Amino acid sequence: MNDTPPAASPSTGAPVWLDWIGALLRPWVRIRRMPEDVRALLPDDPRPTVYVIERPGLSDTLILERACQEAGLPSPYAAADRLPIKRRRAVVAMSRRPRLFGRRPHPTRSETLSLLADVVRADPEKDVRLVPVSIFVGRAPARESGWFSVLFSENWVVVGRFRRLLALLLNGRDTVVQFAAPVSLREAVAVEADTERGVRKLQRILRVHFRRIRAAVIGPDLSHRRTLIDGVVNAAPVQQAIDAHAAREGIDRDKAAAKAREFAWEIAADQSHLVVRSASFLLTALWEKIYRGVNMHHFDKLREVVPGHEVIFVPCHRSTTDDALLPYLLYHNGLAVPHIAAGVNLNLPLIGPILRRGGAFFLRRSFSDPFYSTVFREYMSQLIARGISLMYFIEGGRSRTGRTLTPRGGLLSMTLRSFLRQPHRPVVFQPVYIGYEKVMEGESYIGELSGKPKEKESWGGLIRSLGALRRNYGSVTVNFGEPLFLKPLLDEVAPDWQQATADPEAKPTWLKGAVDTLGERILVNINRAAHVGPVNLLALTLLATPKHAMAEADLLAQIELSKALLAEVPYSERVTLTGLSPQEIIAYGENMQWIRRVAHPLGDVLTVDEKQGVMLSYFGNNVTHLYATAAWIGCCFNNNRRLARASILRLGRLVYPFVQAELFLPWSEAEFAERVQATLEFFQARGLLATVEGTDGRILERGPGQSNAAFRLRVLAHTLMPAIERYYIGLALLVKNGPHALSAGELENLSYLTAQRLSLLHEMNAPEFFDKALFRGFIQKLRERRVISADANGKLVFEAELEAVAKDARVILSREIRHGILKLTPEAQAQIGKVEDGEDGKAA
């Protein structure tokens, strides 16, 4: 990026008057090239070069001339000297200038392209390199831009000279010039027998290219909201729903149609480029005030995917700022703001209309009304058909524990069904990981996990939250994960999916399985793009000790080990890791007031206060999955000095499906076994494990219980140990009560109560330890793997082998924890039938 470009040399072959005008405009224009290294995209080439631009005009020619000089490319006037035909400049525009009076002109055939096509077809040795160049004036937001300049920012209208001049004067310092890969004129026209037909086809392809780039950069050409709503209401599925609702409710059809229109008005966004650009000014100031920096990775890979695709952004949901942060970053880096799904609870007076103009569309929490559901689904279909990118969260709400939540399939299902109606436009899901170092809602999350009801959104709550803007929340990292293309996924899970496109209202039997697979892979790819920052490493390390305190030397060594583990046994190529040294990480944690230093003559101790410890666990949970394999090995050696490799792998195969489902791990059981082996080798190289002599490497051992090696493994084990303990609680309750005694709901409630009480007795501060959703997922996984099943009365039954699995816990869990769980199970048994969902807090 050239914020302060070097002075350009005089234009070779350009008229003197053009240089003068360019010199006058130079202070008003600052060019940002995409890609930054244009020469890598357009190396030296013996073929003559012709630049293809979207719109004609002197200003675009001047901008192109300067961008080429700054990038080291031949200028349009210098390139004209090498053309086989006589032209003053090597530039072709795909549209015509609007007339002062009369209708907008239609695009016509380019005489220059036709003459060049005749030349290259006549001489097999000749060719011309066409370089498409998109130019946007006033696209990128900047702090120095004025509010009035928003009115003259880039849009879809081909404007006249005076308006373009105003746009340059007001927004010229935010000019974006995007070069595309060159096109061979010979190859483009050779596919057609007739030269003129080949030129017309080439121009159509180029216009489509420019429309895709413009849609990706400033968003699709949005018609009036009323037009979109008319399309929704008049669609065949909604018309059928109107008839059905009128018949069901016994009302006049016009009243039913009015209700459908009311639903559509309640739902629909009314995105305004003016509001979006204005909001970018405010958000720039806000992020600079509350964050130390916003870091973004892998955006270049996203940029390659966007043109020509319907993009569905699916970020993790950690904070209310997610809704504004990701769209802002997309806009700030040259992509259009997506339409964002928002809960209808955010449609507050004054705030709702602003969000709607910013691109938010509102949905109700429940889709139990089939009439409303049909209207909403049709609205989604209309957005996808128009090529409007979308953004929604599939976790159903913000994570209160910092872990990735189980996906909800509602919006995914609607997206798939909309795609089936119009499968010609490829759809891609873009997972996004958002990592914070502090969240504004931290204290409210702790309260909700303790049983307090979630506070409803209101003006009062909004005003109270403004006080949080006085604090600093560290840095934020946004990583773009591996995209998921919908067509290949459907080919994999439902090879006959194209048969469903014949019926626009089809709901094929394979749809639920496809939605479940898609949701799981999105979350897997979000986790594969995680960022490990200083706060994450401090949380993982310090919270693993009983008193959340560690000698500085031990803390430095443990942080170094955690960083080395991700570097030498990488989780994914998209995982990012802080570049700070262990010493800098500790200093950063002190500066952020997450940790406190206690001076001591024998060496300083770093500690975490109790309240901070509960909040810090949130950030440890963000990255627990990255250390799952190392933590499993640590668990195995927690209570064992020696253990056979085969035992580590055998027990790992038993527990991995449940850990995989809970943490959304990407590997198969065989791949997990390979990672275990690789991690064992890492530990051996580090001296944390060693092979026992005379066993041919079959048996491994760690150091004595008080050694540094044993301590390092115990700290790593802590990240996974709560999950193992939760699994044992569920299994112990099942085995203790026997078959035909507990339903799935009763087992979930009793497991929750047991874990909650165990946390009180053993000072377990991790709030996710007694998260009911995690017990629910564990029970569901037991059913999926047919470890348990339900009888005719809904009670759970299981085979005797389950008792052997429960006994294997002796290898992993300490005697104290096992006895504590078993001691509580008779007390929990007495609560059967007494605990309902609304009574959990009272029973606890």
**Span 299-306, average pLDDT:** 91
Q: Tell me if 190 sits within 8 A of 198, measured CB to CB.
A: yes
Q: Dihedral of CA 249/251/252/255: which sign?
A: negative
Q: Please, what's the b/e burial string for 739-765 (b: 16 or more CB within 10 A of its CB; e: otherwise)?
A: bebbebebbbbbbbbbbbbbbeeeebe
Q: Tell me if 345 sits within 8 A of 329, measured CB to CB.
A: no
Q: Which of 62-66, 459-463, 497-501, 805-809 has the lowest mean pLDDT?
A: 459-463
pLDDT band at 339 (very low <50, low <70, confident <90, very high): very high
**Span 519-531, average pLDDT:** 97
Q: Which helix (H) or strand (E) holds 789?
A: strand 788-790
What distance in Å separates the CA atoms of residue 747 and residue 752, rounded to the nearest whole number? 8
What distance in Å separates the CA atoms of residue 607 and residue 471, rounded to the nearest whole number? 22
CA distances from 379 to 55, 136, 725, 794 (A): 33, 30, 46, 40
What distance in Å separates the CA atoms of residue 639 and residue 696, rounded to the nearest whole number? 23
Q: Tell me if 835 sits within 8 A of 753, measured CB to CB.
A: yes
Closest CA to 329 of 315, 347, 349, 350: 315
> In the chain, count of helices (H) and strands (E)?
36, 24
Q: Kindly report, residue by residue over 93-121, the tens digit of the pLDDT.
A: 887 655 544 444 445 668 888 899 989 88
pLDDT of residue 344: 87
The 3-state DSSP class for residue 104 equals coil
Q: Is 143's pLDDT higher than 80? A: no
Q: Is 617's pLDDT higher than 60? A: yes
Q: Tell me if 747 sits within 8 A of 794, measured CB to CB.
A: no
Q: Is 158's pLDDT higher than 70? A: no
What is the distance of C-alpha 125 from the center of its chain?
49
Q: Tell me if 206 sits within 8 A of 51, measured CB to CB.
A: no
What distance in Å separates the CA atoms of residue 73 and residue 79, rounded to the nearest whole number? 9
What is the distance of C-alpha 277 from the center of its chain?
22
Q: Kindly report, residue by residue over 195-248, the tens digit of the pLDDT.
A: 888 888 898 889 888 888 887 776 655 556 777 888 899 999 999 999 999 999
Each domain of the chain, given as residue ranges in start order, spans 16-218, 225-527, 545-717, 721-843
Backbone angles phi, psi at 763, to 5 degrees: 55, 50
What distance in Å separates the CA atoms of residue 310 and residue 383, rounded to the nearest whole number? 10
DSSP string of 165-196? HHHHHHHGGGEEEEE---EEHHHHHHTSSSHH
For the chain, the distance separating the N- and C-terminal CA atoms, rounded to the nearest angstrom, is 59
CA distances from 774 to 403, 434, 584, 812 (A): 10, 22, 35, 20
Q: Is 324's pLDDT higher than 50? A: yes
Q: Tell me if 18 sits within 8 A of 76, measured CB to CB.
A: no
Per the rule left: phi > 0, alpha: psi between -120 and 50, beta: everything else, 580 is beta
CA distances from 281 to 77, 167, 338 (A): 38, 18, 18
pLDDT of residue 105: 47
What distance in Å separates the CA atoms of residue 50 and residue 129, rounded to the nearest whole number? 6
pLDDT of residue 102: 45
Residue 268 pairs with which residues in a beta bridge? none
What distance in Å separates the CA atoms of residue 775 and residue 835, rounded to the nearest whole number? 16
Q: Dihedral of CA 181/182/185/186: which sign?
A: negative
What distance in Å separates the CA atoms of residue 538 and residue 542, rounded to the nearest whole number? 6
What distance in Å separates the CA atoms of residue 815 and residue 823, rounded to the nearest whole number? 12
pLDDT band at 284 (very low <50, low <70, confident <90, very high): confident
pLDDT of residue 472: 81
Q: Which of 502-506, 535-539, 621-625 has the lowest mean pLDDT?
A: 502-506
Q: Is 172's pLDDT higher than 90? A: no
**Span 809-823, average pLDDT:** 77
> How many Cβ atoms sit within 10 Å of the Cβ of residue 833?
7
Q: Is 296's pLDDT higher than 60? A: yes
Question: Any idea what DSSP says for residue 457?
Answer: P
CA distances from 35 to 39, 177, 330, 580 (A): 9, 9, 16, 29
What is the distance of C-alpha 8 from the center of its chain?
40
What distance in Å separates the CA atoms of residue 11 and residue 51, rounded to the nearest whole number? 16
Closest CA to 725 of 626, 840, 816: 816
What distance in Å separates the CA atoms of residue 717 and residue 583, rounded to the nearest whole number? 23
Q: Dihedral of CA 269/273/277/282: which sign?
A: negative
Residue 25 pairs with which residues in a beta bridge? none
- Both tokens of 163, joined, read 């308006």
HEC letters along 535-601: HHHHHHHHCCCCCCEEEHHHHHHHHHHHHHHHHHCCCCCCCEECCCCHHHHHHHHHHCCCCEEECCC
pLDDT band at 423 (very low <50, low <70, confident <90, very high): confident
Strands of the sheet with 699-701, listed across from one edge: 642-644, 699-701, 690-691
% of the chain exceeding 70 in pLDDT:
84
Q: Is 837's pLDDT higher than 50? A: no
pLDDT of residue 565: 97
Q: Tell me if 478 sits within 8 A of 325, measured CB to CB.
A: yes
Domain 225-527 has CATH 1.10.1760: no
Q: Is 452's pLDDT higher than 60? A: no
Closest CA to 74 of 46, 37, 53: 46
What distance in Å separates the CA atoms of residue 410 and residue 418, rounded to the nearest whole number? 12
pLDDT of residue 533: 96
What distance in Å separates the CA atoms of residue 110 and residue 153, rounded to the nearest whole number? 28
pLDDT of residue 763: 59
Measured over all CA atoms, what is the biggest interatomic distance in the chain, rounded to whole angstroms? Answer: 95
Q: Kindly report, residue by residue over 740-781, the tens digit of the pLDDT.
A: 989 999 998 888 888 888 777 765 556 666 678 888 888 888
Q: Can you tell me which residue has the tokens 């394999």?
A: 629
% of the chain exceeding 90 in pLDDT:
41
- Both tokens of 115, joined, read 């003459």
> How many Cβ atoms sit within 10 Å of the Cβ of residue 570?
12
pLDDT of residue 631: 96
Residue 32 pairs with which residues in a beta bridge? 176
**What crossing angle do the helices spanning 628-636 and 721-737 adopt, rounded to 10°?**
60
